Amino acid sequence: MPKLLQSTLPVGRYAYDEVDRAFLAQRVEQFRDQVARRLSGALSEDEFKPLRLMNGLYLQLHAYMLRVAIPYGTVSAVQMRTLAHIARRYDRGYGHFTTRQNIQFNWIKLEDTPEILDVLADAQMHAIQTSGNCIRNVTSDQFAGAAQDEVLDPRVHAEILRQWSTLHPEFTFLPRKFKIAISGSAQDRVAARFHDVGLIARQSEQGRPVFEVIVGGGLGRTPIVGVSLRDDLPEEDLIAYLEAVLRVYNEYGRRDNMYKARIKILVQALGREAFLEKVNAEFAAMDRSRYRLPAEVVEAIRARFGAPAFETLPDGAESLAAQCRADREFAAWVSTNTHPHKQSGYCSLTVSCKPAGGIPGDATADQMDLLADLADQYSFGELRITHMQNVVLGHVRQDQLYALWQVLQANGLGTANVGLLTDIIACPGLDYCSLANARSIPIAQKLSARFADNTLQQEIGQLRLNISGCINACGHHHAGNIGILGVDKRGEEAFQITLGGSTGDDASVGQIIGSAMSEDETVDAIARIIDTYLVRRNPGERFIETCRRLGAAPFKDAAYATV
C-alpha cells in the first residue's frame, strides 16, 4: 500500500485506509441485507429493532431519525459538506448536533437509509453503535490537541477505543448502553464523572500516558456522579482493564428492569469496593497479553492522524486587545467564544449554534457548508462538535479572528454567548420525541429571547442552563446549574426547576426546588432566580458558587414569589 503523505492526512482525526474502507462497505451491505430481510418478513420488527438501532436508526414520533457518529466530535470540512448534503437531499435542510458530539437527522425514510450509509461511508463516516445496548461513540474534549492546559491529545486513545469497541463480539448486547468519555486535560471538559466510564489521562514519568478510571456516573432517571476506581492505569492495560469492567457489567448488570440496567446501578448496589474487587479479579484472571495495548500500536494509530502545520507566530494578544477596544461587540465575542491555545499566535474558537430565540444545536445545510469553508480557510480543514451542541474551530490565528468573526456575524453564527445563560442545552422534547412530557424547544427559545441582551448575559456571567422534556434527561437537566425538566401535570405540559448541578471536577447533581409550573411561569421564575443571584452574590462569585453558599432556599422563595 502506498504510504500517505503527512499533508494528506486529515487534521485531528484518524484517516481510513483500504482495510477500514472495506470493513465499512461490508457493514453497509449487512444493513442493506437486514433491511431487505425486514421488508420480506424474515426479520420481525422486534428482531430488526436492535439491528437498526446499532446502525443509528431510531423510530421517532413522526419519522425515522438517523444518528451519525462523529468519533471524538472531530469532522473534516469534507465530512461536514457530506452532512450538509444529507441534510439537503434526505432531510429537511437541517441537522441537529447532539450532546454526545454526534449529528442527528430527524426526517429520514427507512428505504433511504442504506443509500445514506453509502454516502457516509464514502466520507469515512458511519452510524455504527450510535444507539443500542452497546459501547457508544466515544466522546472527548472539544479543545483536544489545542488547549493550553492539555497534557496529551485524547483523540488518539478515543480512536483506539472506537476501533476496539466496533462490533465487539462480547459487548454488543449489554444490559444497557455504555458511554465512554476521555479527557487529556486535568480540567474536565468531557463530563467524565457523568459517564459509564470516564477516563482522564495524564503523562507518566516514563513518558507514556496513565489514566484515571471513573465508573458508574450518569444522568437519566437516576443521576449519579461516578466513582474513581484507580488513577494509575498504564496505557498498555487500557483495553484489558476496560474489558474487565465490561465483563463484570455484562455478567452482573441488571436485565430485569431497563431503568435499573445501567452500570451506575450495579456500582451503587455493590458499592465501590465490591465492584472494584470483581473488576480486579477479572483483570487478574484474564489473558492480559492478549489485550495488551503496546506503545507501537498506539503510535501506528497516531501516525494516521494529521497534525496542523502551525506557523511560527508571535503572541497576538496585544493586537487582539487593540481590536477589542475598537469594537465592543467583537470584544464581547472574543471574551466568551475563544479559548487559549498551546501554540503561540493561535486560539480555539467556539461558534455558537444558539442565536437569540433559536433552536439549540440546529444547523442548516447552508451553515454547515459555510462552517466547512471557514474550517478550510482558517483552521486546517478541521471542526469539532461540542457536547454543548456548538461547533469549534480548533486552530485559528489570532490575527485572523476579526475577519472570521465578520463572516460569522453576517451569517447568523456570531452570537457571543458561549458559557453564558443562553448557551442552552435542550433535548428534542415533544416536538420530536415519543417519550416526552413537554416541549423543550419552545421554552428554550423563550429563555433565549428573554436573556438575549449581551450586556445582561455578560453581567450574569457563567451559567449552564439545561432542559429535558422528560426524566430520561437527554438534555442533562440535572447537570445544569439551572435545570428544567418537562413533566406531565394532569395532562398539561409543565416544568420543574432544578438547581445546583455541575459537570466539571466539582460535579454535582441538581436538586428539584418545588412543584411544576407552566412554560411562561417557569420563564418568569428563572428570571427571578437570576435577579436573586445578582443581588445576593459576592464579588466575582459565579452562579453555581452562590447557589452552593446560600443553598436553594432564597432561590426557591424567589421562584415561587407571586407578583
Partner 1 sequence: MPLFENGQIMENGWQTAQEGVALPEGDVLVPLSRLAEGLGRNGAGRLGVVLEPADRVESLREALPRLDLVCVTFGSFRDGRAFSQARALREHLHYTGALRAAGHILPDQYEFLLRCGVSQVEIPQGSDPAFWQAAHTRFTVAYQPSVLDEKPEGTGLRRWLLS
Residues in contact with ligand SF4 by CB under 6 A are: 427-429, 433, 435-436, 440, 468-470, 472-475
CB of 435 to ligand HEM, least distance (A): 5
User: What is the DSSP secondary-structure string of 226-284?
Assistant: -EEEEEEEEGGGHHHHHHHHHHHHHHHS--S-GGG-SHHHHHHHH-HHHHHHHHHHHHH
Are 245 and 171 in contact by the 8 Å Cβ rule? The answer is no
- Binding residue (CB under 8 A) for partner 1 from 202, 255, 342, 446: 255
Selected from 39, 47, 340, 403, the binder of partner 1 by CB under 8 A is: 47
Pair 192, 214: CB distance under 8 Å: yes
User: Considering the rule CB under 8 A, would residue 15 count as an interface residue with partner 1?
Assistant: no
179 binds, among ligand SF4, ligand HEM, partner 1, none (CB under 5 to 8 A by kind): ligand HEM
Choose between 134 and 332: whose C-beta lies nearer to partner 1: 134
Supply the angle between the helices 18-40 and 45-53 in degrees, to the nearest 10. 160
x/- letters, 266..285, toward partner 1 (CB under 8 A):
-------------------x
Task: Point out which span in 31-39, 360-368, 410-418, 554-562 binds partner 1 (CB under 8 A).
Answer: 31-39
Whole-number Å distance between alpha carbons of 166 and 462: 37
Report how far residue 229's alpha carbon sits from residue 213's, in angstroms, rounded to the nearest whole number: 6
User: Which position among 60, 148, 172, 411 is part of the footprint of partner 1 (CB under 8 A)?
Assistant: 172
For residue 200, list its beta bridge partners.
183, 212
Question: Is residue 525 a contact partner of residue 560, using CB atoms and an 8 Å limit?
Answer: yes
Binding partner selected for residue 12 from ligand HEM, partner 1, ligand SF4, none, CB under the kind-specific 5 to 8 Å limit: none
Q: CA–CA separation, 471 vs 456, rounded Å? A: 31
Number of C-beta neighbours around residue 321 at 10 A: 12
Q: DSSP for 80-110?
A: HHHHHHHHHHHSSSEEEE-TTS-EEEEEE-G
List the interface residues with partner 1, window 192-251 (CB under 8 A).
239, 247, 250-251
Quick one: what does residue 251 bind among ligand HEM, ligand SF4, partner 1, none, with the CB cut-off 5 to 8 Å set by partner type?
A: partner 1
User: C-alpha grid cell for residue 397?
Assistant: 490565528
- Minimum distance from CB of 482 to ligand SF4 (Å)? 16
- The helix/strand/coil state of 285 is helix
Under the criterion CB under 8 A, does residue 258 sit at the interface with partner 1? no
* 30 lines the binding site for partner 1 (CB under 8 A): yes
Which residue from 4, 36, 39, 42 is in contact with partner 1, where contact means CB under 8 A? Answer: 42
469 binds, among ligand SF4, ligand HEM, partner 1, none (CB under 5 to 8 A by kind): ligand SF4
* Cα separations in angstroms, 538 against 19, 83, 462, 502, 532: 59, 46, 14, 19, 12
Residue 371 or 474 having the CB closest to ligand SF4: 474
Nearest of 153, 175, 269 to residue 222 by alpha carbon: 269
- Binding region for partner 1 (CB under 8 A): 17, 19, 22-23, 26-27, 29-30, 33-34, 37, 42, 47, 50-51, 133, 160, 163-174, 239, 247, 250-251, 255, 285-287, 290-291, 293, 297, 300-301, 304
